[in-house]
Amino acid sequence: MIANNEEGNESQNQAKDQVENDSASELQKPAENSDLKALQSKIDELEQKNSDLNDKLLRSLAEIENIRKRSREELERVNKFALSNFASELVPIVENFFMASENAPKEEIEKNQLIKNYAQAIIMTEKELMKLLEKNQIKRIFPLNQDFDHNYHEAIAHIESDAKEGIIVQVIQAGYSISERLIRPALVGVAKAKSS
């Protein structure tokens, strides 16, 4: 009988422990749920911060790239402007070489070897200057027998001619451009119909 009592007590103890465990579990569930909710809330908050930081990073990278692009464009513009100023100052010198070679006395050059050597040096220098200008995208505008273009030419005379009206029949001064930007227009005489 004592054994039965012990078994009964043990059963009761187990049932009592089970009830206590169930009660403790029930009490822990709300605590666990609130802990899970707090953790989920923290995770959501961190994910939002991460997303915001990624967005800021992408915007910053885009802004840096835009600054680089604008800086490159500004540097190119400054370089072209500096080159334009240099070219504007160099153009009259180049034109002086053209004028010297065009107005050289051809007969005297052929008669005297020293003068011939001098004339050849002027022509060689003129060619080297033109190579330098072309290398830097500076073009000479000498539009003889071409249609008048107000973007590159400035008409300072209308000349009666048999040529079609609007054709350039005289170039008074050559023009120059750099990368399609006009440095100075060509001064020209344009054909007009002869009066009867």
Sequence spans of domains, the chain: 1-89, 138-196
pLDDT digits (tens, 9 = 90+) for 27-36: 555 567 778 8
What is this structure's pTM? Answer: 0.57
CA of 182: how far to CAs of 68, 129, 169, 170, in Å?
Answer: 28, 19, 21, 20
Average pLDDT, the chain: 83
How does residue 18 score in pLDDT terms, banded at 50, 70 and 90?
low
Which homologous superfamily does the CATH classification assign to the domain defined by 138-196?
Head domain of nucleotide exchange factor GrpE (2.30.22.10)
User: What's phi and psi for 104, nearest 5 deg?
Assistant: -70, 140
**Do the beta carbons of residue 184 and residue 94 sit within 8 Å?**
no
**Do the beta carbons of residue 178 and residue 80 sit within 8 Å?**
yes
**Do the beta carbons of residue 144 and residue 168 sit within 8 Å?**
yes
pLDDT digits (tens, 9 = 90+) for 53-75: 999 999 999 999 999 999 999 88
Residue linked to tokens 């885009």: 62
pLDDT digits (tens, 9 = 90+) for 157-188: 898 888 888 899 999 999 999 877 888 999 99
